[in-house]
A and B are shown apart, each in its own frame.
Chain A
Amino acid sequence: MAALVAPVACDWHRTIALDGDALGNDAHSNCLPCGALRSIQIRRAVAAGDARKPTAEQALALYRAWSGWDGTEATDIGTASDSAAVAWARHGVTWGDQWDDIPSIAALDPANAGHVKAAVAFLGPIQLDLNMPAAWQGATTWTVISGSWGQPGTWGSHRVCAGRYDQQCLYAISWGTEVRITWAALATYALNAEASISRSWLEVAGVSPTGLDLAALEQESRSLAV
Chain B
Amino acid sequence: MNTTRRTLLALSVSGLALAACAGTTVATLASDVQLVDSGAASLAAAVMQLAGVPAATITQIQGYLATIDTGASAVAATETTGATSVVQQIVAAVQALVPVVIPLIPGGSALEPVANALLSMVPALLAYVGVSGASAAVPVYTPDQARLILRAAAK
Contact = CB atoms under 8 A, between A and B. Distances in A.
A192 B2 CA distance: 12
B139 A192 contact: no
A32 B132 contact: yes
B88 interface: yes
A152 B142 CA distance: 10
B65 interface: no
A191 B20 CA distance: 7
B142 A156 contact: no
Q: Which of B4, B91, B95, B127 has the most CB of A within 10 A?
A: B127
B66 interface: no
Contact of B135 (A153, A156, A209): A156
Given A155-B123, A191-B127, A134 B142 contact: yes
B9 A29 contact: no
Interface residues of B, number: 47
Contacts of A85: 5
Interface in B42-89: 84, 88
A110 B20 CA distance: 10
Contact of B19 (A2, A110, A153): A110
Contact of A156 (B12, B93, B126): B126
B152 interface: no
Contacts of B84: 80, 82-83
A151 to B, nearest CB: 6
Interface of A: 1-3, 22, 25-27, 29-32, 67-68, 72-83, 85-86, 104-110, 112, 115, 119, 129, 131-132, 134, 137, 148-149, 151-159, 175, 191-193, 195, 209, 211-213, 216-217, 220-221, 224
17 contacts: A22-B136, A31-B133, A73-B96, A74-B93, A79-B133, A83-B84, A106-B13, A107-B19, A108-B16, A151-B142, A151-B143, A153-B123, A153-B124, A156-B133, A158-B134, A209-B13, A221-B12
